[in-house]
Chain A
Amino acid sequence: MKRLSLLPFLLLCACTETIVMDPLEEMPVVVSCVLSRDGGWHEEHPEEERDYTPPAQYLDLYYAQRPSESVRRVISDAAVQVTGPGGPYDFVWNGSRYESAFLPKFDREYKLMIKTADGKELSSSMVFPPDVRLRRYRLIEHASMNNFGNTFAGYYYLQRHYDVSTMGCQWENFRKECFMWIRALENGVPVDKICTTHRGVDNFNVRRDVWSDCAVIDYYAEQFNEFMAWENSRYEAYDPKQYEGMIGLTAPIYVDPELWTRFSNAWLSSPLHDKFLRIYHQAEYDSGLDKPWDNYVANDFRDNQPAEPRDLFVLGADFNPSVKTYSYVDVDTGEKVEYEVPWYQGDCYEVRFMSEAYDKYLKAMVDAHAIHGDELSPVYSTKPVYSNIDGGLGCFGGEWITTINISTGY
């Protein structure tokens, strides 16, 4: 819709003229460093029992570019150090960027100090994200079978679970704020459509279509509705054997027919998001985890709003599998019979828990991406880019990456 803002120019014979502006004498230094712990292990194991190699951490350092500059001026002779638990950690120039290797600790503060050869000093600090993660997920399987009777699936019902304790619940600790960025990949490629009805989701990348626009929904709508209409019981919501006392957050979708109809309609009209979700789960979140889910459903319906389960329901891309041709020899006739089956290599969900600084920085990046190339952007009120670097620009952040791989291939 930004195009609409061009209207006055189109109607009123806009004109432009060149003016002279003096560039700054010296450009600020830009820092880009996101400490990361990439999850590749099972969360069930305590951290001290895990066997891993400390991951490499990288830091980029360069001068910002003047409008007329096209080449980045990299700074290679600076002293870079991060202090924090187990540190300090010195970053060493590896020919293209600065590098160190260590595993950041959850919920702990790290400080960055940089001193360039010409005497500039930059500093920053951040708190690495807390130890929250997607604990488990549930796969929704459609009741569709291929020729061999195998089921295949295309939708994933993900539940985020705050794993602050390996045993039992500590409700107070559940009330931690966290920032999640979720991206769905299909065969390694980010999918266009992703959906949730989590109340904390940030809608700034909302698409202009809704969940029922997914082509596969048209095809599987009936089966899907049947599945979703299945009466869950509270026993499923609370399964001490399976989850060691953790209260599962499975939606107890028992509802009367009228309520269910409204739920279905609301669900199908939920907006889709473009390639990723950002969820800000506030510590003082009203609709926390310690209240019966169905209350919220009832309240949402009462307010004539789409139902908003507390669970994180993530829908991946349109169900658009590739087709692979197989053949077999009929034992009776000896003829070779060819048949086609859908082919799924598997989908992947990246869930990244961010430090607050990196969350803000990333959101600013998305905003900048949205208006890139818009010549009219200075006309609007302008939002300076987020930076948490004292003495420079950029971001010093942290992210904790959880990856969920779902393989449904043959």
Chain B
Amino acid sequence: MNNYRLLVFPALALCFAATAQELPRTDTLPPAIKEDVRSGQKTLSERILKISDISAMATPTGEADFVKFVQTLPGVASGSDGSSSYYVRGGNMGGNVQTLDGVPIYGTSHLVGLTSAYPPEVVSVAEFQVGGFSSEEGNLSSSHIKLRSKDGSFDTFSAKGDVSNFLLGGYVSTPLIENRLSLNAAVRVSPAGLEYKAIKGLMDPEAVSIKDADAAIYDLYAKLKYRVDANRSLSLTAFHSLDKYNFLMDSGSEDKMTWNNAILIAQYDAPWRKKGGTLGVTASFNHYGNSQGMIKQMDKTSNDLLIRSLLDETMLHACVNTMAGEKWKAQYGLKVRAARFNPGSARVLKSTGLFPKTSSPLVKNVHWNVTGTLHGQLERGSTERSMLRLAGRLNYNNASGFAPEASVLLRIRFFKYLGLEATGDYLSQFYHTLEGIPLGWSLDMIVPPSKRFRPEQTRQAYAGLYSDAGNHHFSAGAYYKEMSNLVYFSDATKLFDSAIAGWEENIEVGTGTSRGLEFLYEKTSGLATWRFAYTWSKTDRLFPNLNKGEIFPAKYDREHIFNASASARVLSRERLNVSIATLFTYQSGHWETVTAGSWWDDNFITGLVEQKFYTSLNNYRMPPYIRWDISALLEFPGRKHPQTLNIGVYNVLNRHNPFALSYDPDNDQWKQISLLPIMPSVKYSISF
């Protein structure tokens, strides 16, 4: 590491010193965003994610992103640089679930994984759970980002537009029938394709093999809410996102990759009997697809090969929240989920030739998977005081049979400033994600459970102390986690080629453990917000058919993770407010499997071929990941149309953080590949 990078420490100290000034702070969130936002629950097991937390962060794309904030919390290890991949308490990336009104968003990312597929502006409440899960959702094994969509306003019209490095956004909230029917809608479109064409002339044509490229990236969101009466409401939510990239290669062939979500949710809310109980009935349809394709000219025939992975999920959920006696809150319900998996299907479209145009299925991998879940939960107390939550789920899955789940969350406040928090979970997840490149993009195949690939299971426990003293919050605890039926996609180098072959042949099933210590200190005041999070953890994997059956570290087993962030209002005037924010992160390097040597074999199929060997899996820890971001938020209130300007610099140090290693035999050197250099970002928004 070059010495100049050590400057991060004095620079960080200066940054913190600057933000520690005693300055007044006012709530600058517009009313629509404040709606439904509860006070943040500062526990290590579940936490409310606030718009104000994420909007000030510097990101590679300039877009506010819940996932980028989650990556700074204790127990969370980031994947590759700048991406949306994250690993919670040693789990796999596929064990994390993001839901919108209870419906999973499987294709969570935009822009090859750099940001989330949904705009945070449409979210009223976002909650991050890592333990002591509530009962109503489930089908996860690691963590849950629970998003509740925002209703449109029933009495006033408002709109907003914004532009950032890679996305243009427009948002509207309006009554359609005053006090009866409202609409909240959003659209974001990326001009990345146009931006590529603009900078294409600056690129060295010899350096890249892409002749031309194009991209279509957008997301659409709309929610209609109808108030039947004071207590009953009906809502219809639609969400669609698309990422589509085309590359015309010098060879004349065309490569394509696509992923998309299409979600439709109908929800009915009504009172349930007495004592203020509520009934929520949700019906949803969720389509998720990803694909890679190629067009090749062969024998005067245009062959369009498309290999794709599809998941169509229909869900019906009825959930009751009521009181059970004077002090216990009860929740129970029934959920039925029918999913049609079609991972790795392939087809060929032929447009010319003697034979008529055909669409030929090369491979179809349709699997129907139905899960019925009875769930129930009892809760007493509140997070601010002592609290006990007992949650259970009984699942029946047609491929794997019965699977019970249970979670418990206990918070006991011993003294005024000190309490104990403990959670325990026994979880099952009824699908597997075959993880390829850890970019957090949505090209990984999702496959159903089967008798051979049983549902992934997690058993975890956490215990720790917490303290709330005024604006200071401190948590410290330890967790232990066991995972079974984990899948390891052992041939990810050919993720989509293997899709043709049948992914089942390339999957290994094994177990994993993770243990760690987590610390969190936060100070939130009207002047400044500080947060320090540290995690020590050790995560490993054991697969009988890998690594000679011996334990090896998980790829993103980052032993030490330290995140320090601060934000402060540094200027407050009638027509201008200025806030600055900074984030410093240090994470132990991830593990790579580095070849120790090779030999050459001559066989009748391939001829002479080099075979690399490894002393063990994940045998080399990469250099640490260090990054410093700064951003400034300029607000222009008091105008007819309030505006904001967010300027950020991601990776101020321009540190070449490690992504992968490769050996260059020509120069007899190992080389480290990095992804993101220093990245300026800007986002401008205007409200109407």
Q: Scoring A residues 214 to 241 as 1 if CB is less than 8 Å from chain B, else 0, what string do you get? A: 0100100100000000000000000000
Is B348 in contact with A394, judged by CB distance below 8 angstroms? no
Is B609 in contact with A372, judged by CB distance below 8 angstroms? yes
CA distance A281 to B605 in the complex (A): 20
Is A275 in contact with B605, judged by CB distance below 8 angstroms? yes
* Most A-side CB within 10 Å, residue of B597, B606, B610: B597
Chain A's closest residue to B622 (CB) is A19
Is B606 in contact with A213, judged by CB distance below 8 angstroms? no
8 Å CB contacts to A: which residues of B622-676? 623, 656, 659-663, 665, 668-676
CA distance A265 to B665 in the complex (A): 49
Which residues of A have CB within 8 Å of B209? 3
Is A17 in contact with B362, judged by CB distance below 8 angstroms? no
Is B595 in contact with A67, judged by CB distance below 8 angstroms? yes
CA distance A18 to B666 in the complex (A): 13
Q: Scoring B residues 232 to 261 as 1 if CB is less than 8 Å from chain A, else 0, what string do you get? A: 000000000000010101000001010000
Which residues of A have CB within 8 Å of B299? 209, 213, 215
Known: A30-B599, A271-B500. A11 touches B112 (CB 8 A): yes
Q: Give chain B nearest CB distance to A202 CB in angstroms.
A: 7
8 Å CB contacts to B: which residues of A354-401? 362, 364-372, 374-385, 387, 393-394
Q: Is A269 an interface residue (CB 8 A)?
A: yes
CA distance A288 to B505 in the complex (A): 20
Q: Is A325 an interface residue (CB 8 A)?
A: no
Q: Is B52 an interface residue (CB 8 A)?
A: no
Known: A1-B497, A19-B661, A209-B348. A67 touches B597 (CB 8 A): yes
Which residues of B have CB within 8 Å of A377? 493, 662
Is A12 in contact with B676, judged by CB distance below 8 angstroms? yes
Is B675 in contact with A383, judged by CB distance below 8 angstroms? no
Chain A's closest residue to B435 (CB) is A381
Is B436 in contact with A380, judged by CB distance below 8 angstroms? yes
Is A362 in contact with B597, judged by CB distance below 8 angstroms? no
Q: Give chain A nearest CB distance to B560 CB in angstroms.
A: 20
Partner of B671 from A19, A181, A369 at Cβ < 8 Å: A19
Q: Give chain A nearest CB distance to B299 CB in angstroms.
A: 6
CA distance A1 to B295 in the complex (A): 11
8 Å CB contacts to B: which residues of A1-45? 1-5, 7-21, 23-24, 27-28, 30, 32
Is A381 in contact with B492, judged by CB distance below 8 angstroms? yes
CA distance A183 to B604 in the complex (A): 9
Which residues of A have CB within 8 Å of B298? 208-209, 213
Which residues of B have CB within 8 Å of A295? none
Stretch of B421-429, B563-571, B612-620 at the chain-chain interface:
B612-620
Known: A16-B673, A213-B303. A204 touches B294 (CB 8 A): no
Q: Is A144 an interface residue (CB 8 A)?
A: no
Q: Give chain A nearest CB distance to B60 CB in angstroms.
A: 8
Partner of A3 from B112, B249, B614, B671 at Cβ < 8 Å: B249
Count B interface residues, CB 8 Å.
Answer: 95
Which residues of A have CB within 8 Å of B358? 265, 269
Q: Is B353 an interface residue (CB 8 A)?
A: yes
Q: Is B437 an interface residue (CB 8 A)?
A: yes
Q: Give chain B nearest CB distance to A61 CB in angstroms.
A: 11
Q: Is A179 an interface residue (CB 8 A)?
A: no
Which residues of B have CB within 8 Å of A3? 209, 247, 249, 255
Partner of B292 from A1, A10, A69, A202 at Cβ < 8 Å: A1
Chain B's closest residue to A280 (CB) is B505
Q: Is B488 an interface residue (CB 8 A)?
A: yes
Is A383 in contact with B490, judged by CB distance below 8 angstroms? yes
CA distance A74 to B112 in the complex (A): 47
Partner of B662 from A364, A378, A382 at Cβ < 8 Å: A378
Known: A8-B439, A28-B613. A1 touches B255 (CB 8 A): yes
Is A204 in contact with B494, judged by CB distance below 8 angstroms? yes
Which residues of B have CB within 8 Å of A181? 605
Q: Give chain A nearest CB distance to B445 CB in angstroms.
A: 13
Is A2 in contact with B493, judged by CB distance below 8 angstroms? yes
Chain A's closest residue to B496 (CB) is A1
Q: Is B326 an interface residue (CB 8 A)?
A: no
Partner of A67 from B490, B491, B665 at Cβ < 8 Å: B665
Q: Is B593 an interface residue (CB 8 A)?
A: yes
CA distance A371 to B662 in the complex (A): 13
Q: Is B305 an interface residue (CB 8 A)?
A: yes
Partner of B112 from A7, A268, A369, A376 at Cβ < 8 Å: A7
Is B597 in contact with A381, judged by CB distance below 8 angstroms? no
Known: A16-B671, A19-B670, A380-B493. A365 touches B603 (CB 8 A): yes
Chain B's closest residue to A21 (CB) is B670
Which residues of B have CB within 8 Å of A183? 604-605
Which residues of B have CB within 8 Å of A69? 597
Partner of A4 from B247, B614, B656, B674 at Cβ < 8 Å: B247
Q: Give chain B nearest CB distance to A220 CB in angstroms.
A: 11
Q: Is B574 an interface residue (CB 8 A)?
A: no
Q: Is B354 an interface residue (CB 8 A)?
A: yes
Q: Is B228 an interface residue (CB 8 A)?
A: no
Partner of B437 from A5, A20, A206 at Cβ < 8 Å: A5
Which residues of A have CB within 8 Å of B303? 208-209, 213
Which residues of A have CB within 8 Å of B498? 204
Is A365 in contact with B609, judged by CB distance below 8 angstroms? yes
Q: Is B547 an interface residue (CB 8 A)?
A: yes
Q: Give chain A nearest CB distance to B208 CB in angstroms.
A: 6
Partner of A17 from B82, B255, B305, B672 at Cβ < 8 Å: B672
Q: Give chain B nearest CB distance to A9 CB in angstroms.
A: 7
Known: A8-B439, A271-B500, A379-B437. A1 touches B294 (CB 8 A): yes
* Most B-side CB within 10 Å, residue of A27, A221, A372, A385: A385
Is A371 in contact with B249, judged by CB distance below 8 angstroms? no
CA distance A226 to B245 in the complex (A): 44
Is A368 in contact with B611, judged by CB distance below 8 angstroms? yes
Chain B's closest residue to A278 (CB) is B605
CA distance A376 to B614 in the complex (A): 16
Is A378 in contact with B592, judged by CB distance below 8 angstroms? yes
Q: Is B526 an interface residue (CB 8 A)?
A: no
Q: Is B24 an interface residue (CB 8 A)?
A: no
Q: Is B170 an interface residue (CB 8 A)?
A: no
Is A64 in contact with B598, judged by CB distance below 8 angstroms? yes
Q: Give chain B nearest CB distance to A364 CB in angstroms.
A: 7
A and B contact pairs by CB, cutoff 8 A, 12 listed: A4-B245, A10-B210, A65-B599, A66-B596, A210-B348, A365-B606, A374-B493, A378-B661, A382-B614, A382-B617, A384-B593, A393-B613
Q: A204-B497, A269-B361, A381-B492 are in contact. List 9 more A-B contacts (CB 8 A).
A: A1-B292, A20-B670, A208-B294, A208-B298, A268-B355, A365-B609, A369-B609, A380-B437, A381-B435
Q: Which 3 A-B pairs have the closest CB atoms?
A: A269-B360, A380-B492, A382-B593
